């Protein structure tokens, strides 16, 4: 753990909740001496209580914002993808040396390895993430060819599971909503199952504000209870339990009913009504033909 890296990440308060959480978790796994930061994405997802698809989207946002660089790596012997190496913004001026880094589908060799002169370079390879799949493990940003020795690599980018987007307003910040829900709900289950359940609920027309309000109310209701007595988040959402905590708005009384009530009180001229009927209400009852001026004077109303 690097206290300097974590402090730097905590200062990035301009970020939305989701990307900020991911950045803080990356910084927490940063080595202050070697500048190494290459946690497995499963660990990041578990630390952030998010699905891997959501973590991928946040990592792309952080990269486009200029706070991190993602360096894909591949084992040259097996051609299998290694965990991505992350360079944090505070190390951009003095970036660490990354072994087995992929650049244009070429991999960097470790020190001391002999170059394979018979190997040809793979050229004109498009390693940019597919627009149809934002979860490609190959990043647009990699170490330039001029800085590394290369050998041929024929390997397709590893594609990761991505939950289908639920139909909702394209301007709606689902990742921020997911982060808020995770912080509010008292017993989170599987991140991917929870995300899928939330997307399904939104797709059916559920109000995000009602879901969050329900989650907070459920947390208050379950305060002090053991987790085993609480619903797992994905089950709570699937059963639409938030509806039990949504307070139905009170119907506004009909104006005619209001006037009829006060007119009755005026006409009965009860002693306790003296001084309780406002002049404006009395005038409205008078205009509606429900009372007379004399009726109003009897309850002490001066018109």
Ramachandran sector of residue 4 (left: φ over 0; alpha: ψ -120 to 50; beta: rest): alpha
Domain end residue (candidates: 223, 245, 267):
245
Question: What b/e sequence results for 56-83 when a residue is b if at least 16 CB atoms lie within 10 Å of its CB, and e otherwise?
Answer: bbbbbbbbeeebbbbbbbbebeeeebbb
163 within domain boundaries: no
Whether residues 68 and 138 share a domain: the answer is: yes
Whole-angstrom distance, CA of residue 268 vs CA of residue 281 = 16
165 pLDDT above the threshold of 60: no
Whether residues 9 and 135 share a domain: the answer is: yes
Domain span holding position 119? 3-151
Which of these, 232, 242, 301, lies nearest to 273 by C-alpha position? 301
Which of these, 199, 126, 137, 198, lies nearest to 165 by C-alpha position? 199
Domain end residue (candidates: 151, 186, 211):
151
198 within domain boundaries: yes
Identify the band that residue 273 occupies on the pLDDT scale cut at 50, 70 and 90. low
Whole-angstrom distance, CA of residue 10 vs CA of residue 141 = 24
CATH code for the domain of 31:
1.10.10.10
Whether residues 24 and 113 share a domain: the answer is: yes
The predicted structure's pLDDT at residue 23:
93
Identify the band that residue 135 occupies on the pLDDT scale cut at 50, 70 and 90. very low
Whether residues 217 and 273 share a domain: the answer is: no
Query: Which whole-number Å values give the CA distances from 154 to 117, 147, 224, in the listed order?
Result: 17, 21, 56
Whether residues 102 and 202 share a domain: the answer is: no
Whether residues 89 and 204 share a domain: the answer is: no
200 within domain boundaries: yes
Whether residues 214 and 185 share a domain: the answer is: yes
162 within domain boundaries: no
| Mean pLDDT confidence for 88-114 | 67
Whether residues 239 and 271 share a domain: the answer is: no
The DSSP result for the chain, as a single string, is --HHHHHHHHT-TTS-HHHHHHHHHHHHT--TTT------HHHHHHHHT--HHHHHHHHHHHHHHTSEEEEEEE-TTT-PEEEEEEEEGGGTTSPPP-TTBEETTEEEPPTTPPP-TTPPPP-S---SPPTT-TT-S--S----GGGS-EE----PPPP---PPPPS--TTS-HHHHHHHHHHH-SS---HHHHHHHHHHHHHTT--HHHHHHHHHHHHHHTTTS-GGGSPPHHHHHHTTGGGGGPPPPPPPPPHHHHHHHHHHHHHHT-GGGTTTS-HHHHHHHHHTTSS-HHHHHHTT---
Decide: residue 53, CB within 10 A, 0-12 exposed, 13-18 middle, 19+ buried: buried
303 within domain boundaries: no
189 within domain boundaries: yes
270 pLDDT above the threshold of 50: yes
Whether residues 79 and 133 share a domain: the answer is: yes
90 within domain boundaries: yes
Whether residues 10 and 117 share a domain: the answer is: yes
Q: Judge whether 140 and 103 are in contact, CB under 8 Å.
A: no
Domain count, the chain: 3
Return the higher-pLDDT residue of 215 and 97.
215
Return the higher-pLDDT residue of 107 and 191.
191
157 within domain boundaries: no
56 pLDDT above the threshold of 80: yes
The predicted structure's pLDDT at residue 107:
43
Instruction: Write the pLDDT tens digit of every residue in 228-268.
Output: 889 999 999 999 999 988 765 444 456 787 888 888 888 88
Whether residues 227 and 101 share a domain: the answer is: no
The predicted structure's pLDDT at residue 87:
92
Whether residues 70 and 185 share a domain: the answer is: no
């Amino acid at each position: 753990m690097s206290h300097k890296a974590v402090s730097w990440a905590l200062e990035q308060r301009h970020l939305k909740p989701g990307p900020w959480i991911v950045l803080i978790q990356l910084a927490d796994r940063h080595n202050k001496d070697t500048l190494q930061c290459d946690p497995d994405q499963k660990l990041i997802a578990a630390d952030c209580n998010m699905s891997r698809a959501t973590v991928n989207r946040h990592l792309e946002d952080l990269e486009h914002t200029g706070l991190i660089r993602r360096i894909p790596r591949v084992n040259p012997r097996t051609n299998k993808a290694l965990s991505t190496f992350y360079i944090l913004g505070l190390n951009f001026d003095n970036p660490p040396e990354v072994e087995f880094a992929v650049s244009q589908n070429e991999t960097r060799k470790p020190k001391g390895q002999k170059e394979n002169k018979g190997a040809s370079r793979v050229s004109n390879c498009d390693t940019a993430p597919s627009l149809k799949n934002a979860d490609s493990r190959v990043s647009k940003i990699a170490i330039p060819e001029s800085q590394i020795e290369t050998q041929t690599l024929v390997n397709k980018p590893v594609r990761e599971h991505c939950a289908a987007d639920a139909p909702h307003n394209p301007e709606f910040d689902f990742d921020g909503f997911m982060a808020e829900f995770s912080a509010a709900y008292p017993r989170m289950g599987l991140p991917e199952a929870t995300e899928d359940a939330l997307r399904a609920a939104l797709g059916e027309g559920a109000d995000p504000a009602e879901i969050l309000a329900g989650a907070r109310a459920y947390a208050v209701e379950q305060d002090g209870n053991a987790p085993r007595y609480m619903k797992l988040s994905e089950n709570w959402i699937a059963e639409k339990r938030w509806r039990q905590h949504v307070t139905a708005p009170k119907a506004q009384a009909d104006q005619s009913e209001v006037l009829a009530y006060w007119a009755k009180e005026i006409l009965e001229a009860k002693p306790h009504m003296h001084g309780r009927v406002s002049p404006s209400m009395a005038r409205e009852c008078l205009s509606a033909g429900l009372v007379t001026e004399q009726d109003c004077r009897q309850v002490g109303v001066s018109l």
